[in-house]
Every structure is written in C-alpha cells, then in structure tokens.
C-alpha cells in the first residue's frame, strides 16, 4: 500500500516477523504499536524504523555497545563532517537492517558497523586522493616552467 509516494506497511506483519527473530524486540514493538495494530492502521517505513530503534534502546540492546558506537560516530564525523551523522543515525541504520533484511539484531549491528567502517575508510581514501591531486597539480606547474 502507498500514500503520496510513501510505502505503508501494516505493523503486525513487521512485529510478527521480528518476534520470530528476537522475541524481546517483537514484544516491545507489539506494545509500542498496539493501538496501530488494533485500529488496523498502516505505518510508513520510517515510522517502523523509529519504532524498532526505540525498542532496541528500551530492551538495552545498545547499552553494552555504546563505547564502540560513540567511537565509530566520532570517526565518521571527523572524515565526513558534511553528513548528518549521530548515534541515533547509527541506531536507525541497525533498525533498518533488521526490517529490510530480516537480520537478528546482533547480525544487523555487526553488518551496520562494517558498512560504516567501509564508508569511513572510503572517505579517508578520498581525502588522501585529493591531497595527491594537489601535489600532481604542483608538479604540472613546475614542469611548465
């Protein structure tokens, strides 16, 4: 189902799917979306992502990983200052992976962290290449003289 170009999903479908993967997360989502489920109301994908991210926090999934997440976010902000990067962005990316790929939370966390590491490495590499291009330009000017 869609509305104004946005895809709408019935929360019960997602809740039951996630409950199969992780019962604690599924119960939290069922409680969070109880009114939407009982009213047979559809949600946008982003509303579902927000709900999953909040439930992951509520069940304490991220609590033991906060130091690693904070370090990853700091590194990402250092090399990609123009991007909207935050701890909440990372949590939403984990939630999105759970919904999109049907991954259990731990696997979604590991895969998301690896994707962020790759993006950081790519941004660092791009930065190095820009510096190398600067030197190449100087060499060309020197050759012309």
Give the sign of the dihedral formed by CA 85, CA 90, CA 91, CA 96. Answer: positive
With a cut of 80, say whether residue 133 has pLDDT above it. Answer: no
Query: What is the per-residue pLDDT for 136?
Result: 53
Name which residue leads in pLDDT, 98 or 139: 98
Query: What is the per-residue pLDDT for 142?
Result: 52
Instruction: Looking at the chain, list the stretches that DSSP marks H as alpha helix, in order from N- to C-terminal side.
Output: 11-21, 23-32, 34-38, 45-58, 66-79, 87-101, 105-144
This prediction has a pTM of 0.81
Q: Which long-range contacts (CB under 8 A, 24 or more apart) does 36-39 make?
A: 36/11, 37/10, 37/11, 37/12
Query: What is the per-residue pLDDT for 47?
Result: 92
Query: What is the per-residue pLDDT for 140?
Result: 54
Q: Which residues pair with residue 6 across a beta bridge?
A: 3
Q: Are 27 and 19 in contact (CB under 8 A)?
A: yes
pLDDT, tens only, 41-72: 899 999 999 999 999 999 999 999 999 999 99
- The residue-averaged pLDDT of 120-140 equals 70
- The residue-averaged pLDDT of 16-24 equals 79
Q: Are 58 and 28 in contact (CB under 8 A)?
A: yes
Query: What is the per-residue pLDDT for 13?
Result: 79
What is the distance between the alpha carbons of residues 14 and 55, in angstroms, rounded to a whole number? 13
């Amino acid at each position: 189902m869609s509305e104004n170009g946005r895809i709408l999903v019935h929360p019960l479908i997602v809740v039951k799917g996630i409950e199969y993967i992780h019962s604690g997360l599924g119960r939290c989502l069922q409680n969070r979306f109880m009114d939407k489920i009982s009213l047979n109301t559809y949600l946008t994908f982003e509303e579902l992502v927000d709900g999953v991210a909040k439930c992951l926090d509520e069940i304490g999934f991220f609590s033991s990983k906060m130091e690693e997440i904070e370090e990853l976010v700091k590194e990402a902000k250092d090399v990609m200052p123009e991007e909207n990067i935050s701890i909440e962005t990372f949590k939403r990316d984990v939630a999105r992976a759970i919904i999109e790929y049907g991954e259990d939370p731990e696997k979604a966390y590991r895969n998301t962290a690896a994707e962020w590491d790759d993006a950081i490495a790519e941004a660092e590499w791009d930065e190095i290449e820009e510096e190398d291009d600067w030197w190449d330009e100087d060499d060309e000017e020197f050759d012309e003289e």
